[in-house]
Homo-oligomer: A and B are copies of this chain.
Amino acid sequence: MADRLLPSWNEGPARSAILDFVARVTMEGGSDYVPPSERIATFDNDGTLWCEQPFQTQIFFLIDRIRELAVHDPSIKERQPFKAFIERDHTALHALGKQGVMELFAATHTGMSEDEFDHLARTWFASAKHPQLGCLFKQCIYQPQIELLQYLRSNNFKTYIVSGGGIDLIRAFSEEAYGIPREQVIGSSAKLRFEIQNGRAVLTKIGELNSFDDREVKPANIGLHIGRRPILAFGNSDGDLAMLRYTLAGSGPRLALLLHHDDGEREFAYDREFRLSPLVEALDKADEYGITVIGMKEAWKAVFPSAATEKRPSS
């Protein structure tokens, strides 16, 4: 039976660490037993559950949003920072930094109701494709992680996304792609305002950041939304380090996993130099903090679902 679990994970220390951990926390009467209500698992999204190269999917969405806006107001094609986005100017984009991008996102994606945004996002996801991988963005997800999420849920874990990405964008595809319902998505968010529009109560996304769910804010938002310390967390960058350390600092058995993108053949190889979401401290301190580093190249038998086009990235 055991060899049927996590079929896209190679035999080895990563897969064993996961299977051993789940066996321990689910063994009733065992010293490491954790009741189902406390089996909280939190996953970063970009670079942990799906591809984040050459930049996060949210940025592709943002580019398309700006192009759409430019149809109504052509002058923005010539104005920065919009120009850089429309032209996919990598240098200019990376120079903005993650927070700069998030703020631009808030500025261009608000002023509409949550329902309108959801419709917009779903429409985009239905056809938008990754320029290098060739598959729909919502298919650029990691098959081993889909299996891990399912495996955890079959062991009565509650699986959450805790992402620096926009909460509403993730909610528009998380159920379909990962089996994670909207209420188990935590992310960066704009403030919401309750309004009566034409006699109808709506929530409007306003142009003010509610929270940028990265680094130290991740555990804080876990405290707010979940109110329990996860027993398992999975990330891939320094933006996840606080969440991983928060997870490990609880009593009883804990597992903190860090995906290392070392597979330039099947995906993309990067860590320290990826300006939008670097992996430096978490990698250097993994041993000291008790974080299990998982190299994609060795740990994963497959990267993307077979339905998605699997091919060598063209750059």
- Residues of B near A249 (CB, < 8 A) are 200-202
A228 contacts chain B at the CB level, 8 A cutoff: yes
Q: Verify B224–A192 contact, CB threshold 8 A.
A: yes
Contact of A228 among B40, B183, B192 (CB under 8 A): B183
A191 touching B171, Cβ below 8 Å: no
A29 at interface (Cβ–Cβ under 8 A)? no
Which B residues are CB-close (under 8 A) to A203? 219-220, 223, 246
| 8 Å CB contact of A242 from B167, B194, B245 | B194
The A224-247 residues at the B interface (CB cut-off 8 A) are 224-228, 242, 245-246
A177 CB to closest chain B CB, in angstroms? Answer: 15
Q: How far is the CA of A158 from the CA of B201 in the complex (A)?
A: 22
Check A220 against B200 for contact (C-beta < 8 Å).
Answer: no
Q: Is A41 an interface residue (CB 8 A)?
A: no
| Interchain CA distance A190-B229 in the complex, whole Å | 17
In the complex, what's the smallest C-beta–C-beta distance from A108 to chain B, in angstroms?
Answer: 19
**Contact between chains at A183 and B226 (CB < 8 Å):** yes
Residues of B within 8 A of A227 (CB): 114, 167-168, 171, 182-183, 185
A194 and B181 form a contact (CB under 8 A):
no
A161 CB, nearest partner CB in chain B, Å: 11
Q: Using Cβ atoms and an 8 Å threshold, which residues of chain B touch A171?
A: 227
Q: Is A210 touching B228 in the complex (CB atoms < 8 A)?
A: no
Q: How far is the CB of A192 from chain B (nearest CB, A)?
A: 4
Contact residues in B for A182 (Cβ distance below 8 Å): 226-228
- A228: which B residues are within 8 A, CB to CB? 182-183
Q: Are A219 and B201 in contact (CB under 8 A)?
A: yes
A248 and B249 alpha carbons, distance in the complex (Å) = 43
Q: Which chain A residues (171-220) contact chain B, with CB distance < 8 Å?
A: 171, 175, 181-183, 185, 189, 191-194, 196, 200-203, 210, 216-217, 219-220
Instruction: Determine if B183 and A225 form an interchain contact, defined as CB atoms under 8 angstroms apart.
Output: yes
Q: What is the CA–CA distance of A40 and B40 in the complex, to the nearest angstrom?
A: 21
Say yes or no for A31: interface residue by CB 8 A criterion.
Answer: no
> Nearest Cβ in chain B — how far from A4, in angstroms?
28
The answer, among B158, B193, B210, for a CB contact under 8 Å with A183, is B158
Task: Name 5 A/B residue pairs within 8 A (Cβ), A-sorted.
Answer: A37-B175, A37-B181, A183-B226, A183-B228, A192-B219
